[in-house]
Structure 1
């Protein structure tokens, strides 16, 4: 396989938004669902978010459960997965928790034209790599696979989910729906307009569904040529 097995994960409102326009972050999930997400994180070799998610949410991207961290170490794996981001414009903050939280490899993929700028900005806080001009997703994924990343969890945001889904490189799609509407025209959506291969004539397979409190979890298999992770 020339790329990692990819799980894309998102929590959305019933009308398809992943946040609202308020300054405070919109809470879509609950503790039980966050534990489910943590379980998937512990499965992964790397966690990926876009640079805009780092700017707006400042995520730590760590495995929360001490028991799961110990299990990873006992299996000869790092305590928490590697972190990955991609940025076309090079707007990254070396003080963000993506770069400061946890002791794990960090990879930043950017356009070849901004490579020197981003390397200068981040210093030794991450491995900065060029992935084409414009940025080429297959090249980035192949490089990750070559670095031993076999299982990749993509956590957003909307532009990143759009990029991965429209490229047809998502093996599992995990979506949790929160029981409310956002209804704001300028709020960020789960995906943006794109030419998706998962259209009406290529329906995804529903592999799992369950209730989590007042949330609904759905697991889809967008590609018929891949088996699920089990």
Structure 2
């Protein structure tokens, strides 16, 4: 398969959680800045062309629960993908199979990084939502009928958008589904010095019925580094 190099880069608590009440403490903010600089910015370790997240992560981080302003009577849009024009060199890839995110602009700002949005839809997404994306100049890819076709998505990101290095940025279900599909080459974890002990918050990797299974995966440790603010940076290669 012709696809980008894919690495999962996440900040976690000591107990492996990616969200929870620990996000409210100052230490989280300090380590979050370090997490950002590992993958973005002038002196970053990775040269990221795009980063990819699931619908819930996109909603929490960017659309903030907004409802899309869909015209159910919109004129029928052409079939297939929509590739919008942009001057930006980075992309944010949002996996949103049914088309539910309330975007209001074609670009987003993540700290110092600007990126053009690519919505990943399945054939379940309705015409009105696709018409809205076109009106906003947001690119979209159709990858699958009822469920996401990961291989088709990766080929389109590589061939159409020329994405060579792709970062997975959560949530845990999306991260694990890529691991289980054999589509993740490396895992990068910034483990930060806090925990909240919650049994109900999301972990770095999680299964979801009908999407992925709890088939064990092993990793080769590539790098361990003590970071500022008590963090530890771990890099693993995924064993095939």
- C-alpha distance in structure 2 between counterparts of 1:107 and 1:11, whole Å: 23
| Aligned-partner SS, 1:58 | helix
- The residue correspondences of 1:103-114 to structure 2 (distance < 5 A) are 104-114=115-125
1:83 to 89, 92, 102: 92
Which residue in 1 is equivalent to 2:142?
Answer: 130
- The residue correspondences of 1:44-55 to structure 2 (distance < 5 A) are 44-55=48-59
Pairwise CA RMSD? 2.8
Would you say how many aligned residue pairs link Structure 1 and Structure 2?
202
Which residue in 1 is equivalent to 2:10?
Answer: 10
Instruction: Tell me: CA distance 1:192–1:33, structure 2 relative to 1, closer, same or farther (3 Å).
Output: closer
1:105, CA displacement in angstroms? Answer: 3.6
Instruction: Tell me: CA distance 1:30–1:108, structure 2 relative to 1, closer, same or farther (3 Å).
Output: closer
User: 1:167·1:196 contact (CA, 8 Å) conserved in 2?
Assistant: no
1:51, CA displacement in angstroms? Answer: 2.0
1:79, CA displacement in angstroms? Answer: 5.8
- C-alpha distance in structure 2 between counterparts of 1:135 and 1:30, whole Å: 30
1:120, CA displacement in angstroms? Answer: 2.4
- C-alpha distance in structure 2 between counterparts of 1:103 and 1:206, whole Å: 32
1:120 to 116, 131, 134: 131
| Aligned-partner SS, 1:113 | coil
User: 2:4·2:165 contact (CA, 8 Å) conserved in 1?
Assistant: yes
Instruction: Tell me: CA distance 1:208–1:115, structure 2 relative to 1, closer, same or farther (3 Å).
Output: farther
Which residue in 2 is equivalent to 1:99?
Answer: 107
For structure 1, which runs of at least 5 residues remain unmatched after alignment?
60-77, 225-230
1:7, CA displacement in angstroms? Answer: 1.2
1:9, CA displacement in angstroms? Answer: 0.4
- C-alpha distance in structure 2 between counterparts of 1:211 and 1:22, whole Å: 20
Is residue 159 of structure 1 aligned with residue 173 of structure 2?
A: yes
1:17, CA displacement in angstroms? Answer: 0.8
| Aligned-partner SS, 2:2 | coil
1:92, CA displacement in angstroms? Answer: 0.8
Is residue 34 of structure 1 aligned with residue 36 of structure 2?
A: yes
Instruction: List per-residue Cα deviations over 1:105-148 (Å, max 9, x = no partner).
Output: 42111111215243123223311221112111111001111121
Which residue in 2 is equivalent to 1:63?
Answer: none
Instruction: Tell me: CA distance 1:124–1:35, structure 2 relative to 1, closer, same or farther (3 Å).
Output: same
- C-alpha distance in structure 2 between counterparts of 1:3 and 1:17, whole Å: 29
- TM-score between the two structures when normalised by the length of structure 2: 0.73
Which residue in 2 is equivalent to 1:140?
Answer: 153
| Aligned-partner SS, 1:164 | helix
Instruction: List per-residue Cα deviations over 1:22-48 (Å, max 9, x = no partner).
Output: 895992624334322325586122121
- C-alpha distance in structure 2 between counterparts of 1:215 and 1:131, whole Å: 37
- List 4+ stretches of structure 1 deviating above 6 A: none
Instruction: List per-residue Cα deviations over 1:132-179 (Å, max 9, x = no partner).
Output: 121111110011111211111111122221221121111111011112
